[in-house]
Amino acid sequence: MSKRTPKMTDSLDPGSVFGQSIRRLSPKDLARNPVMMVVGTGTLITFLLGLSNLAQGKPAGLDFAICAILLFTVLFANGAESVAEARGKAQAGALRATRKDLKARKLDGEQYKEVAATDLRRGDRVLVKPNELIPADGEIVTGAATINESAVTGESAPVLREARTDNSGVSAGTKVLSDEIVVEVTVDPGNSLLDRMIALVEGAKRQKTPSELALSVLLAAMTLVFLIVVVTLVPFGGFVGATPSFSVLVALLVCLIPTTIGGLLPAIGIAGMDRAMRANVIAKSGKAVEVAGSIDTLLLDKTGTITLGDRKATAFEAVQGVAPGTLRDAALLTSLADPTPEGKSVVALARDKGSDAEASEGTEFIEFSANTRMSGVDLPDGRILRKGATDAIRKFVTENGGNYPQETDRLVDRVAKNGATPLVVSEGNRVLGVIALSDVIKSGIKERFAKLREMGVKTVMITGDNPVTAAAIAAEAGVDDFVAEATPEQKLDIIRKEQDEGRMVAMMGDGTNDAPALAQADLGLAMNSGTQAAREAGNMVDLDSDPGKLLEVVEIGKQLLITRGSLTTFSLANDVAKYFAILPALFVTSLPALDALNVLDLANPVSAVLAATIFNALIIPALIPFALKGIQFKPASATQLLRRNLLIFGLGGLLLPFAAIKALDLMLTVVI
Ligand SMILES: Nc1ncnc2c1ncn2[C@@H]1O[C@H](COP(=O)(O)OP(=O)(O)OP(=O)(O)O)[C@@H](O)[C@H]1O
Ligand SMILES: [K+]
Ligand SMILES: [Mg+2]
């Protein structure tokens, strides 16, 4: 798979990250994060206490020291978010750079005039000639062309995009290689997928995802509980004759509240979207990435998703008593006005085999639809010719009083057993024979489905094709299950049923007939090559139009969830050690018995408090790489992963601070 070479770290500007972190100290920004709001308030309070002590000629060193450490705690948390944002923007910027300064030939009837791409609006039509760049995201409405999409996908092999097919979607900045096309612009300036993604990465516009929100509420609640605990310590302290300084109480509070995860939470979410973007997937919301991590069932359509989708007619098989020429000519006539790749290839094969049939005047064309699954012609001489899916033609023929010869099933089976799609051809209520449409399974797809299975994701192929073809392709591709002869409504019903049974469903698709399913699925991954309807319905778009991408998306989602879970565990476990460091320090002078709690044997109360708060601040930048890169991830079931992470991050989070705080305490005794 193609990847743009990542240059994220090169483009990280430390100056701007620092500037951002300072700007985020504004009360408005802090208010978005209750935990950091408390730390920010603590910074202010200890600063004022220091000033007041100074004014009264009392020692103020400890107040100012705590104030400085708390300030850095907030700055580090802000920095984590800024670094994550900067990476996302750099990535998006690299993609967006390709679409600067594009020119367009905007059509006005037959005429066109040259305009800047930035002046194009949704609904405008532009003419694009060979060797020119497509000026805006859109859909081909006339013509077909080979296109180099390397600007968007990094992959330079040309791809075919064609009007009125499921491959009509084109992107700004990609290059037309052959042929002239007319593209209908589908986005207003500033509203492209990329623009929307960048807006998501940028702090102000980012919405918290539901589980982020739930976790934030939990963290805020814990903060409140610890605030109450610390406040009640004051009268308690007074009762036993200890009067801890107010600054030390603030330090204690900050150490107890979940600052680590509170500080890293936004960065973890942004990093998830950034990782998706690096995999050439544009997520329309942070929630989409998160949902990807909890997918139970993946539904895929067959043609174009599991197979290459370039179905070509390879043979005509007439039933007994029908001359091969009759079938050939009928097949041709049913396809003359059929714009689908299938239809065109039938025309090509029939012409190849010497057919010179032409549509006479007054011929009525019946277009293919996903619901009828037939196409054809009503000729002026009264003949009614159809081609279509096996069950559709059987129904059509028998409803018109004809009989459906057994032999058809044999022909159909022979074609279908090889994984090809049989189209049955009929004249009136008589079956003429079968057209074989061959298709090829995409390479490497079986391995990917196997990996998804390891992660506990069930794959189901849903196709409008007949059961025999479906079974052949399903076996070859290694999907867990398949549904054949499905209409678009049935696709929707299957998704709803899975959802009603409590499963999270992902759907990949490219066609307009996939759009309802893409919208209904919890994760709708649309292919960028697909129709505008599909791209709009999904909550993610794959720029590479590669169905195997779902595997990566699921991994990215799982990694996001695991990273967040692990760092939360670590953060909460961490606070225990700080408790042991600070509590004895607070009361040891008045309650010598509390020295038993001083398991760390810290030098003195001042250094104990400072060591704990310094550790509390430093752990945030120390964990930024984990938050951004994500915790290492191997395919495994959720419970296995949970057990492993609880062990590492729970136990690690519990023990590490004891060692670190002791070390800091030793260093401080040298300095102080
Ligand atoms: N141009 C056509 N004319 C007549 N029948 C067609 C044509 N194209 C496809 N069919 C028939 O209609 C069936 C359904 O086609 P459709 O493209 O809706 O499939 P689908 O539901 O998207 O599933 P998949 O993409 O997995 O095949 C095909 O399997 C084929 O039998
Ligand atoms: K803390
Ligand atoms: Mg399809």
The pLDDT assigned to 10 comes to: 45
CATH number, domain of 504, equals 3.40.50.1000
Quick one: 74 and 223 in the same domain?
yes
What's the pLDDT at 8? 42
Domain shared by 365 and 430, yes or no: yes
Stretch 635-662: mean pLDDT: 83
pTM over 0.90: no
In 3-state terms, what secondary structure has residue 437? strand
Ligand 3 centroid to 306 CA: how many Å?
10
Average pLDDT over residues 11-18: 77
Q: Are 309 and 303 in contact (CB under 8 A)?
A: yes
For residue 638, pLDDT over 70 is answered with: no
Query: Can you name the residues that pair with 301 across neighbouring β-strands?
Result: 462
DSSP code of 171?
-
Please, which residues have CB within 8 angstroms of residue 137's CB and are 6 or more apart in sequence? 170, 171, 172, 185, 186, 187, 192, 193
The per-residue pLDDT for 132 is 94
Cα atoms in the Cβ-side hemisphere of radius 13 Å centred on 453: 13
475 is in an annotated binding site: no
Q: Would you state the pLDDT for residue 9?
A: 47
Q: What letter represents residue 241's amino acid?
A: G
Q: Same domain, yes or no, for 76 and 208?
A: yes
Residues 6+ apart with CB under 8 A from 225: none
Give the three-class secondary structure for 85. helix
Query: Residue 235 above 80 pLDDT?
Result: no
- Please name the residues in contact with 489: beta carbons below 8 A apart, sequence gap of 6 or more: none
Asked whether residue 66 falls in the same domain as residue 205, the answer is yes
Higher-confidence position of 270 and 310: 270
Closest ligand 1 atom, residue 304 Cα: 25
Is 80 exceeded by the pLDDT of residue 4? Answer: no
Which pLDDT tens digit goes with each residue over 432-457? 999 999 988 988 889 889 988 988 89
Mean pLDDT of all residues in 105-117: 92
Give the rounded percent of residues in the chain with a pLDDT score beyond 70: 93
Q: List the Cα angle 74/572/632 in 5-degree steps.
A: 90
Q: What is the pLDDT of residue 557?
A: 93
Which CATH number characterizes residue 335's domain?
3.40.1110.10
pLDDT at site 55 = 96
In the chain, the percentage of residues whose pLDDT exceeds 90 is: 53
Higher-confidence residue: 544 or 600? 544
pLDDT at 481 > cutoff 90: yes
Helix ranges, 132-278 (H): 150-153, 193-201, 210-240, 246-256, 259-278
Cα 644–Cα 649–Cα 651 angle in degrees, nearest 5? 95
Strand partners of residue 172 = none
Assess whether pLDDT exceeds 90 at residue 509: no
Radius of gyration of the chain (CA): 32
Catalytic residues: 301
Query: At which of 543, 577, 600 does a domain end?
Result: 543
Could you tell me if 316 and 420 lie in one domain?
Answer: yes
Which of 162, 188, 214 delimits the end of a domain? 188
Query: Which atom number of ligand 1 is nearest to the Cα of residue 464?
Result: 21
- Is 597 a member of any domain? yes
Q: Which DSSP symbol is given to 245?
A: -
377 and 469 in a single domain? The answer is no
Residue 183 pLDDT more than 60? yes
pLDDT at 505: 96
For ligand 1, mutation pick of 365, 423, 512 (most atoms within 8 Å of CB): 423
447 & 538 share domain: yes
Q: Are residues 483 and 397 in the same domain?
A: no
Q: Give the pLDDT mean for 92-118.
A: 84
For ligand 1, is residue 125 a contact (CB within 6 Å)?
no
Per-residue pLDDT tens digits for 377-427: 999 999 999 999 999 999 999 999 999 999 999 999 999 998 999 999 999
Q: Is 368 in the pocket of ligand 1 (CB under 6 A)?
A: yes
Tell me which of 166, 302, 334, 368 to substitute to probe ligand 1's pocket, judged by most ligand atoms within 8 Å of the beta carbon.
368
118 lines ligand 1 (CB under 6 A): no
Separation of alpha carbons 125 and 354, rounded Å: 39
Query: Is residue 203 scored above 70 in pLDDT?
Result: no
The arithmetic mean of pLDDT across residues 622-634, rounded, is 86
Give the separation between CA 594 and CA 585, rounded to whole angstroms: 9
Model confidence at 241: pLDDT above 70 = no
Q: Report the sign of the C-alpha dihedral through residues 462, 467, 469, 471, in that order.
A: positive
- Number of the ligand closest to the Cα of 370: 1
Q: What is the pLDDT of residues 20-58, one digit of tens each?
A: 899 989 998 888 889 999 999 999 999 999 999 999 999
* Residue type at 537 in one-letter notation: A
How much is the pLDDT for 11? 53
Establish whether residue 488 lines the binding site of ligand 1, counting it when its CB lies within 6 angstroms of any ligand atom: no
Q: What is the pLDDT of residue 79?
A: 94
Which element (helix H / strand E) includes 523?
strand 523-527
- What single-letter DSSP state applies at residue 315? E
The domain spanning residue 157 has which CATH number? Answer: 2.70.150.10
Local confidence band at 192 (pLDDT 50, 70, 90 cut-offs): confident
The domain in which residue 599 lies consists of: 8-92+198-279+554-671
**Contact criterion met (CB below 8 Å) for 436 and 415:** yes
State whether the beta carbon of 511 lies less than 6 angstroms from ligand 1. Answer: yes
- Asked if the structure places residue 286 within a domain, the reply is no
DSSP state for residue 521 in the 8-state scheme: S
343 C-beta closer than 6 A to ligand 1: yes
163-172, 327-336, 508-517: which has the highest mean pLDDT?
327-336
Q: Ligand 3 centroid vs 92 CA: distance in angstroms?
A: 30
Three-class SS of residue 177? coil
Report the distance separating Cα 616 and Cα 627, nearest Å.
Answer: 16
**Confidence at 85, pLDDT banded by 50, 70, 90:** confident
Does the annotation flag 368 for ligand binding? yes
Query: What local confidence, expressed as pLDDT, does residue 240 receive?
Result: 59
430/459 same-domain check = no
The pLDDT-based confidence of 5 (bands split at 50, 70, 90) is: very low
- Number of Cβ atoms within 10 Å of the Cβ of 234: 13
Helices (H) and strands (E) in the chain, counts: 24, 22
Residue 108 neighbours by CB distance under 10 Å: 9
Cβ(340) to ligand 1 under 6 A? yes
Predicted pLDDT at 498:
94
| Domain edge (last residue) among 396, 412, 438 | 438
CB atoms within 10 A of CB 323: 10
Residue type, 624: I
Is there a domain that residue 104 lies in?
no
Phi then psi dihedrals of residue 583, to 5 deg: -55, -50
Summarize pLDDT for 299-315 with one digit per residue, the tens: 988 887 788 878 899 99
- Provide CB contacts within 8 A for 428, sequence distance 6+: 383, 384, 400, 402
**Which of the given ranges, 77-86, 322-331, 335-344, 621-630, has the highest pLDDT on average?**
322-331
Nearest ligand 1 atom to alpha carbon 389: 31
Q: Tell me the average pLDDT across 364-376.
A: 91
Tell me how far apart the alpha carbons of residues 133 and 125 are, in angstroms, rounded to a whole number.
15
Averaged pLDDT score across all residues of the chain: 88
| Amino acid letter for position 143 | G
Does residue 270 fall inside a structural domain?
yes
How many domains are there within the chain? 4
Cα(303) to centroid(ligand 3), Å: 5
Task: Find the angle CA(228)-CA(217)-CA(214) to the nearest 5 degrees.
Answer: 155
- CA 175/CA 130 separation, integer angstroms: 8
The answer to whether 403 is a known ligand-binding residue is: no
Of the listed ligands, the closest to the CA of 575 is: 2
Q: Give the pLDDT of residue 332.
A: 97
CA of 412 to the centre of ligand 1 (A): 15
Tell me the one-letter amino acid at 558.
K
Q: Residue 87's pLDDT is what? A: 82
Per-residue pLDDT at 2 exceeds 50:
no
Closest ligand to C-alpha of residue 463 is 1
Ligand with the closest atom to the CA of 657: 2
Instruction: Compute the average pLDDT of residues 235-241.
Output: 65
| Minimal-distance CA residue to ligand 1 atom 25 | 303
Q: Is 395 part of a structural domain of the chain?
A: yes
Determine whether the shortest distance from the Cβ of 530 to ligand 1 is under 6 A: no
pLDDT of residue 614 exceeding 90, the answer is yes
The pLDDT assigned to 1 comes to: 38
Q: What token pair was written down for 390?
A: 């096996």
Q: 122-181, pLDDT tens digit by residue?
A: 999 999 999 999 999 999 999 999 999 887 777 778 888 999 888 899 988 899 998 999
Q: Look at residue 240 and tell me if it is in a domain.
A: yes
> Order of strands, edge to edge, in the sheet holding 175-176?
159-162, 144-148, 175-176
Flag whether 97 is in a domain: no
**SS3 state of residue 12:** coil
Whether 664 and 563 map to the same domain: the answer is yes
**Same-domain pairing of 79 and 210:** yes
Using the structure block, give the residue that is written with the tokens 């029908």: 322
The pLDDT assigned to 204 comes to 59
- For residues 36 and 17, membership in a common domain is answered with yes
For the CA of 488, the closest atom of ligand 1 is 21
Confidence of residue 497 (pLDDT cuts 50, 70, 90): very high
User: Tokens 């491959």, residue?
Assistant: 167
Helix ranges (DSSP H) in 26-98: 27-30, 34-55, 61-96
Is residue 33 a part of any domain in this protein? yes
Mean pLDDT of 198-224: 82
With a cut of 60, say whether residue 290 has pLDDT above it. yes
> How far does the centroid of ligand 3 lie from the alpha carbon of residue 445, in Å?
17
